[in-house]
A and B are shown apart, each in its own frame.
Chain A
Amino acid sequence: QQPVQSPQAVILREGEDAVINCSSSKALYSVHWYRQKHGEAPVFLMILLKGGEQKGHEKISASFNEKKQQSSLYLTASQLSYSGTYFCGTHDSWGKLQFGAGTQVVVTP
């Protein structure tokens, strides 16, 4: 079953912050985050493993709460280059990576 992402879309001005949430009805082993720009392939940002760790990629960070089966992606001091669609992918114990429907992020000057 695919994870649920929210919000569906967000518009930011440069320098603003945003949070994207990803939740699953199943117990999760890991969560992936990818960014896809229009007409391009999804690009891997980071992976979070069971254990509640938090990771960062430049000014983009994420957390994973395995008890709540949720992950959040934090865009801090957003830059124009952050625009794109962000997908979370979740692995349950069966190992198949299921993607959410995506969150479109638009950063304006």
Chain B
Amino acid sequence: EAGVAQSPRYKIIEKRQSVAFWCNPISGHATLYWYQQILGQGPKLLIQFQNNGVVDDSQLPKDRFSAERLKGVDSTLKIQPAKLEDSAVYLCASSSLTATNYGYTFGSGTRLTVV
């Protein structure tokens, strides 16, 4: 089966600019996650979708980050305006159910550098 697709692979922007990342999960996976991974750290959950509804966005900095999942398939994560501390790899993952007994499939990520 095809994996989780993400684009772009790399992005360099200046602080205060905006940026958007795209994710296409594995076909049929109802649950989609966006994680932020800062160099040397474990992934941190930003937002979790079940179909096109938000399940958890408690760690999403809502003053600058937004995400949507239209039609319960593709998802977009946006940062506006970006700060230096947003430099990280943004990982998208999907799983077949919200139940806690299924593994996640991660995409290759988007490496964001804010200068």
Q: Are B98 and A101 in contact (CB under 8 A)?
A: no
| Residues of the B chain whose Cβ atoms lie less than 8 Å from the Cβ of A61 | none
Give chain A nearest CB distance to B56 CB in angstroms: 6
| Residues of the A chain whose Cβ atoms lie less than 8 Å from the Cβ of B106 | 34, 41-43
Q: Are A30 and B91 in contact (CB under 8 A)?
A: no
| B residues in contact (CB < 8 Å) with A | 4, 33, 35, 40-45, 48, 55-56, 58, 91, 98, 100-109
Q: Are B43 and A42 in contact (CB under 8 A)?
A: yes
A49 and B99 alpha carbons, distance in the complex (Å): 11
Q: Which of A44, A46, A49, A97 contacts B45 (CB 8 A)?
A: A97
| Residues of the A chain whose Cβ atoms lie less than 8 Å from the Cβ of B56 | 95-96
Q: Are B43 and A47 in contact (CB under 8 A)?
A: no
- Knowing A47-B101, A47-B102, A95-B100, the reply to whether A100 touches B48 (Cβ < 8 A) is no
| Residues of the B chain whose Cβ atoms lie less than 8 Å from the Cβ of A87 | 42-43
Give chain A nearest CB distance to B111 CB in angstroms: 9
| Residues of the A chain whose Cβ atoms lie less than 8 Å from the Cβ of B44 | 99
Give chain A nearest CB distance to B71 CB in angstroms: 24
Give chain A nearest CB distance to B48 CB in angstroms: 7
Interface of B is mostly: loop
Which chain B residue has the least Cβ–Cβ distance from A28?
B100
Q: Are A41 and B109 in contact (CB under 8 A)?
A: yes
Q: Are A30 and B100 in contact (CB under 8 A)?
A: yes
Interface of A is mostly: strand
| Residues of the B chain whose Cβ atoms lie less than 8 Å from the Cβ of A32 | 103-104
Across the A-B interface, give the 9 residue pairs with the lowest CB-CB distance, nearest first: A99-B42, A44-B103, A41-B106, A91-B100, A30-B100, A99-B43, A42-B106, A41-B108, A101-B42
Which chain B residue has the least Cβ–Cβ distance from A90?
B100
A98 and B106 alpha carbons, distance in the complex (Å): 15
Give chain B nearest CB distance to A56 CB in angstroms: 15
Which chain A residue has the least Cβ–Cβ distance from B91?
A41
Q: Are B100 and A44 in contact (CB under 8 A)?
A: no
Interface membership of A79, Cβ < 8 A? no
| Residues of the A chain whose Cβ atoms lie less than 8 Å from the Cβ of B48 | 96
Interface membership of A40, Cβ < 8 A? yes
6 contacts between A and B (CB under 8 A): A40-B108, A95-B56, A98-B45, A99-B44, A100-B42, A102-B41
